[in-house]
């Protein structure tokens, strides 16, 4: 047993302990389980929102993209930053409605906003297909991090299994509280690790940040700006705008919004969160350093650049700390994802079947759904498969199809009713899925368009069609169903 | 007027998207970073600043936090 392994195990044990202990002294009911009775203060909401961002992606993907795709990686902090800017306008509206109507999940929000159970079901289903790939990626990432940083002592399969078990235990016991407690530990650790590595490695190997980039400029200058085709500027702009709108619609981020105890807690967080995004920069520094220090990682192996470079540079005990931090960056987001997915399904489907179910039944069903979701994701993470990779790329494309219905829902308007919302969403989702399977580009339909248009993110195109269809159908069906939710408008006027 | 403070939130979108073509280059290096990276980091800081200003102007943030 090496020292790295011991430290990883200690971290896992602490996470499990904190996760279980988090529910002590709490009377557990469905509201407490799902959204902490909407009583979380500014700091915890901050850490939970940040926690959804600093996932294994920061560790593996952030550095991995910088390593293999260069400047294209900048899209990550850019869209997250814009999501926070946008959140100042968008999130208080959602929170206010949720507070007033006692909403605890995203499907329920849409259901009550449009007064349509069918829409709730559609949203619950889309949330689930967007979520599962996310959870799988985290479990896989966890497997890679723990396996690499234990110097291969633990297999990725074993590591994913342990991770899945820990999450299942503490989510079923503590719900969102377990995630909140672990989010504190996780952010302290990742902050330390990523900033330290991001500064130490460039200075150790290159003598500074500027010399690092000058070295890159010599061997691979194209990594430092956007390409003229492919990962071009139009790709970057369309992607960051699309993802900025989609960010808070991911079921897990949506759930975190609902935990806030006041509107102002959310607004205050919006101010500081963009600064926190800058942390991802340090992961980029590591990825760029790896271009020169550990060249030759092909394709998906680029995601290993951070770990390989760390192992090449440091003693095992420090590798263990990196591994432990990596473990937490998977556990916290996964726990919020399975929880929000489970509560979403419960409110979307179960309460339809059993409208008079008691609080205890709803809580029990949610816990069973937690197990169902994590087992599904776990199975996918083992058998893998290409379909999943496709879904993951499309997660944002899928979830952003809910944006038009949500934003129109803020206002009392004749341009969007239940029928329009559902047809629009289904159309948009179909385009995104069809694209995922066939990977068509706009140039296949319109052969002569310039690359500046061809590179536009397909999700963006889908959302445009979505809006057209939704507004068209709404206007045509208004006689059947003028929006049955006049309770929205007066709240948003203030 | 202060009711419309939230319109300012469009500024970071302009900085990161509309002005991107002028920033897509390596030179000059600023704070050790190639210009493109510096530009995006600069806008993360400015986003925070814009949000702070909007928060201060926004009349709904006055008075007690809980109604």
ipTM rounded to 2 decimals: 0.94
User: Are A81 and B47 inside 8 Å of each other by CB?
Assistant: yes
Question: Is A439 inside any structural domain?
Answer: no
Token pair 């550095």 in the structure block, residue: A63
Instruction: Note whether A303 and A143 are within 8 A (CB).
Output: no
The number of domains in chain B is: 1
Peptide bond into A279 cis (omega under 30): no
What pLDDT score does A411 carry? 86
Token pair 């990276």 in the structure block, residue: B37
User: Are B33 and A277 inside 8 Å of each other by CB?
Assistant: no
The beta-carbon neighbor of B17 closest among A84, A221, A237 is A237
DSSP class per residue in A82-150:
HHHHHHHHHHHHHHHHHHHTT--SHHHHHHHHHT-HHHHHHHHHHHHHHHHHHHHHHHHHHHHHHHHHT
What pLDDT score does A425 carry? 93
Range of the domain at A328: 3-384
Rounded Cα distance between A209 and A264, Å, is 38
Question: Which ranges in chain B belong to alpha helices (H)?
Answer: 10-13, 20-23, 35-57
Question: Is B64 inside any structural domain?
Answer: no
Q: The tokens of A126 are what? A: 């889309």
Which residues are CB-contacts of A445 (< 8 A; sequence separation ≥ 6)? none
Beta bridge partners of B33: B30
Question: Is A483 inside any structural domain?
Answer: no
User: Are A74 and B66 inside 8 Å of each other by CB?
Assistant: no
Question: Which ranges in A400-484 belong to alpha helices (H)?
Answer: 403-409, 418-438, 442-445, 451-454, 458-477
Which residues are CB-contacts of A105 (< 8 A; sequence separation ≥ 6)? A34, A251, A254, A255, A258, A340, A343, A344, A346, A347, A348
> B interface mutation test: which of A39, A45, A75, A81 has the most B CBs within 10 A?
A81
Size of interface A-B (CB pairs under 8 A): 104
Q: Minimal Cα distance from A214: which residue of B?
A: B34
Question: Does any CB of chain A come closer than 8 Å to the CB of residue B42?
Answer: no
- Tell me the CATH number at A333: 1.20.1730.10
The CA-atom distances, in angstroms, between A486 and each of A198, A258, A264, A405, A494 are 52, 22, 25, 15, 15
Question: Is A137 inside any structural domain?
Answer: yes
**Burial call B2-12: b when 16+ CB within 10 Å, e when fewer:** eeebeeebebb
Q: The tokens of A400 are what? A: 């952003």
Question: Is B20 inside any structural domain?
Answer: yes
Question: Is A306 inside any structural domain?
Answer: yes
Q: How many CB atoms lie within 10 A of CB A263?
A: 19
For chain A, give the mean pLDDT: 85
Question: Is A43 inside any structural domain?
Answer: yes
Question: Is B29 inside any structural domain?
Answer: yes
Q: What is the pLDDT along chain A (494 residues), one digit of tens a residue?
A: 688 889 989 998 998 888 888 888 777 888 888 778 788 888 888 888 877 777 776 667 788 888 888 898 898 899 999 999 999 999 999 999 998 998 888 999 999 998 888 999 999 999 888 888 888 888 888 888 888 888 888 888 888 899 999 999 988 988 888 888 888 888 888 888 989 999 999 999 999 999 999 999 998 888 898 888 888 888 899 889 988 998 889 888 888 888 888 888 889 889 989 998 888 899 899 999 999 988 888 777 788 888 889 998 999 999 999 999 988 888 888 988 898 888 888 888 888 888 888 888 888 888 999 999 999 989 888 886 555 556 666 788 889 999 999 999 898 888 888 888 999 999 999 998 888 777 777 777 777 777 777 888 888 889 999 999 999 898 888 776 555 544 454 444 43
User: Are A82 and B16 inside 8 Å of each other by CB?
Assistant: yes
Range of the domain at B28: 2-59
What pLDDT score does A416 carry? 87
User: Are B44 and A81 inside 8 Å of each other by CB?
Assistant: yes
Q: The tokens of A70 are what? A: 């260069």
What pLDDT score does A385 carry? 57
Query: Which residues of chain B, if any, have pLDDT below 50?
Result: 67
Instruction: Note whether A393 and A457 are within 8 A (CB).
Output: no
Question: Is B6 inside any structural domain?
Answer: yes
The number of domains in chain A is: 1
Question: Is A292 inside any structural domain?
Answer: yes
Instruction: For residue A253, give how far its alpha carbon lies from the nearest alpha carbon of chain B (Å).
Output: 20
Which chain B residues touch A84 with a CB distance below 8 Å? 47, 51
Residue of A350, A348, A372, A349 whose CA lies nearest to A359: A350
Residue of A386, A365, A368, A377 whose CA lies nearest to A330: A377
């Amino acid at each position: 047993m090496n020292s790295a392994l011991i430290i990883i195990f200690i971290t896992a044990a602490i996470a499990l302990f904190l996760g279980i202990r988090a529910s002590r002294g709490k009377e557990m009911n469905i509201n407490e389980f799902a959204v902490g009775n909407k009583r979380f203060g500014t700091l915890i909401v901050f850490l939970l929102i940040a926690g959804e961002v600093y996932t294994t992606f920061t560790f593996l993907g952030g550095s991995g993209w910088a390593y293999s795709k260069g400047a294209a990686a900048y899209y990550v902090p850019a869209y997250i930053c814009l999501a926070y800017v946008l959140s100042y306008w968008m999130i208080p509206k959602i929170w206010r409605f949720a507070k007033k109507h006692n909403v605890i999940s995203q499907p329920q929000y849409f259901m009550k906003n449009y007064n349509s159970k069918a829409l709730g079901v559609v949203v619950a289903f889309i949330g689930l297909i967007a979520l599962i790939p996310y959870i799988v990626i985290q479990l896989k990432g966890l497997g890679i991090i723990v396996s690499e940083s234990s110097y291969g002592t633990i297999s990725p399969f074993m590591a994913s299994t342990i991770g899945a078990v820990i999450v299942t235990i503490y989510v079923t016991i503590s719900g969102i509280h377990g995630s909140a407690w672990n989010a504190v530990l996780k952010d302290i650790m990742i902050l330390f690790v990523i900033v330290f590595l991001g500064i130490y490695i460039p200075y150790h190997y290159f003598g500074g940040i500027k010399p690092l980039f000058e070295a890159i400029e010599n061997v691979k200058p194209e990594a430092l700006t956007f390409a003229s085709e492919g990962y071009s500027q139009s790709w970057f702009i369309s992607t960051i705008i699309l993802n900025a709108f989609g960010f808070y619609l991911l079921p897990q981020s949506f759930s975190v919004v609902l935990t806030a105890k006041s509107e102002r807690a959310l607004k205050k967080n919006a101010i500081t969160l963009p600064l926190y995004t800058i942390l991802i920069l340090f992961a980029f520094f590591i990825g760029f350093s790896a271009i020169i220090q550990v060249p030759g990682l092909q394709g998906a192996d680029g995601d290993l650049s951070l770990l390989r470079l760390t192992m090449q540079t440091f003693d095992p005990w420090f590798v263990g700390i990196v591994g432990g931090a990596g473990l937490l960056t998977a556990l916290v987001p996964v726990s919020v994802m399975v929880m929000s997915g489970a509560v979403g399904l419960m409110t979307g489907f179960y309460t339809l079947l059993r409208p008079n179910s008691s609080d205890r039944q709803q809580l029990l069903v949610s816990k069973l759904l937690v197990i169902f979701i994590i087992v599904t994701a776990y199975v996918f993470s083992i058998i893998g498969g290409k379909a999943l990779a496709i879904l993951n790329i499309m997660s944002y494309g899928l979830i952003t199809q809910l944006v038009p219905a949500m934003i129109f829902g803020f206002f009392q308007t004749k341009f969007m009713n239940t029928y329009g919302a559902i047809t629009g969403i289904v159309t948009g989702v179909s385009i995104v899925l069809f694209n995922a399977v066939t990977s068509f580009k706009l140039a296949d339909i319109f052969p002569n368009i310039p690359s500046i248009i061809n590179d536009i993110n397909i999700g963006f195109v889908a959302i445009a069609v979505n809006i057209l269809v939704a507004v068209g159908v709404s206007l045509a069906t208004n006689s059947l169903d003028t929006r049955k939710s006049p309770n929205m408008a007066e709240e948003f006027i203030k | 007027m202060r009711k419309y403070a939230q319109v300012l939130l469009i500024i970071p979108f302009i900085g990161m998207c509309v002005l991107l073509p002028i920033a897509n280059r390596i030179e000059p290096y600023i704070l050790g970073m190639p210009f493109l990276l510096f530009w995006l980091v600069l806008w993360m800081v400015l986003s925070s600043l814009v949000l702070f200003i909007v928060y201060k102007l926004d009349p709904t943030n006055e008075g007690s936090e809980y109604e």
